[in-house]
Amino acid sequence: MSNNTPFVIDKNLGQNMVPVPGDLSETNADGEAIVPLTQEQKYTFDTRGWLLVPGVLSDTEIEDMREYALRVKHNPDSLPEHQQSYIAGPLQKLIDHPIVVGFLNEFLSFPHLNSPEGYGFRMESGSIRYRSVTTGEVGDFKPHNGNGLFRFAVDSHHYQCIPGKAYSGLTRVVWELNPVQKGKGGTLVISGSHKSVYEAPEATQDKDSPLWDTYECPAGSVIFFTEAITHSATPWTDEETDRIAIFNLYNAVSSKWGTYEPHPQLLAEMPPKRQSLFRPVHVSNNRVGAAHYHGSNLEQARAT
């Protein structure tokens, strides 16, 4: 074992949870190669609690997804009932986009519950954040969450880390389908607050406080942040461009935060691997495909 390999305790007798080939998905449901995080991206997310990857989507993808999202938002009855969803149509490709799977493989996936046929994490929900100065739907400043290093795991809004490995229990993935100008309404975050050991000061209630960070990005960018970080919406003030952002939420296979479920017909029409994002919430025998466990651990389980 390399000196750079983290020692993650497995469930049996303090053994190391050593990933083996086939543990983590190498392709998504469309057969596209997963894009693993760089060392800089892993370091950035662990340090700040959020990560921006700009300009991921093509112009054609952005246009199709934006049009569909606005149709679901403003004219849902023009679509079949099961397609009236922000994880349907062209937006469906976002939920296991190669960059998303690469990120979640690192920070959320449980290796023993992953396989070439199914993911080692699950999806909680898919929604939209539509902000417009012209319609008055600008959003409110409401700071929440933070201090995730010391939350109990059942809360889901927790963050754990050891040297060389980190885990984000409830993770938000935001796809910005229009450009975002810095300081004009993008999501606010307090970098590092997912690991904070102190109660937040009064200054966090001021959206103009230097404690808050935000971003700017072109259309088609993706932002990852742990729900363990202190974050907030803020009023959208861009008079030229509306905010059209798809907010997807992911959790461990063993945990469920909300009541969201995709329409049964929509789920049935998804590729099998994508369906695994919505499988039942439990650990034992919840690996899609052939039974698999790690060598001696499997032998011990059989022996008992």
Write out pLDDT tens, residues 113-125: 888 999 999 999 9
Q: Which helix (H) or strand (E) holds 134?
A: none
Helices (H), the chain: 39-48, 59-74, 98-107, 264-269, 272-275, 295-303
The pLDDT-based confidence of 3 (bands split at 50, 70, 90) is: low
C-alpha 289 chain-centroid distance: 23
Q: Please report, for the domain that includes residue 60, its CATH number.
A: 2.60.120.620
Residue 14's pLDDT is 86
Checking if the pLDDT of 197 tops 80, the result is yes
pLDDT at position 130 is 98
Report, as an integer, the average pLDDT of 139-166.
93
Q: How far apart are CA 260 and CA 42, in angstroms?
A: 29
DSSP reduced 3-state for 223: strand
Give the position of tokens 């049964």.
264
Comparing CA positions, the residue from 108, 109, 67 lying closest to residue 90 is: 67
| Residue 292 host element (H or E) | none
Instruction: Tell me whether residue 27 is in a domain.
Output: no
Residue 22 domain-assigned (yes or no)? no
Instruction: Report if residue 139 sits inside a domain.
Output: yes
Q: What are phi and psi of 166, to 5 degrees?
A: -135, 160
Task: Give the structural domain span for 177.
Answer: 39-303
Radius of gyration (Cα) for the chain, nearest Å? 20
Spatial separation of the C-alpha atoms in residues 54 and 175, rounded to whole Å: 10
Tell me, what's the pLDDT at 291? Answer: 58
54 with 46: CB under 8 angstroms? no
Asked if residue 270 belongs to a domain, the reply is yes
Residue 12 lies in a domain: no
**Model confidence over 15-32: pLDDT tens digits?**
888 777 777 889 999 999
Residue 151 lies in a domain: yes
Residues 196-229 as b or e (16 or more Cβ within 10 Å = b): beeebeeebeebeeebbbbbebebbbbbbbbbbb
So what's the pLDDT on residue 300?
Answer: 37
Res 290: pLDDT: 62
Question: CA–CA separation, 211 vs 233, rounded Å?
Answer: 15
Question: What's the DSSP call for residue 191?
Answer: T
Give the three-class secondary structure for 225: strand
On the question of pLDDT at 207 being above 90, the answer is yes
Whether pLDDT at 70 is above 90 = yes
Task: Tell me the mean pLDDT in the region 151-171.
Answer: 92
User: How many domains does the structure of the chain reveal?
Assistant: 1
Any domain includes 20: no
DSSP 199: P
Query: Residue 195: which of 164, 229, 167 has the closest Cα?
Result: 229
Residue 29 within a domain: no
- What's the rounded Cα separation, in Å, for the pair 273 and 261? 17
Element (H, E) at 176: strand 170-176
* Residue closest to 25 by CA, chosen among 261, 276, 224: 276
Question: Parallel, antiparallel, or unpaired: how do β-strands 243-251 and 170-176 relate?
Answer: antiparallel
Pairing of strands 159-162, 165-168: antiparallel
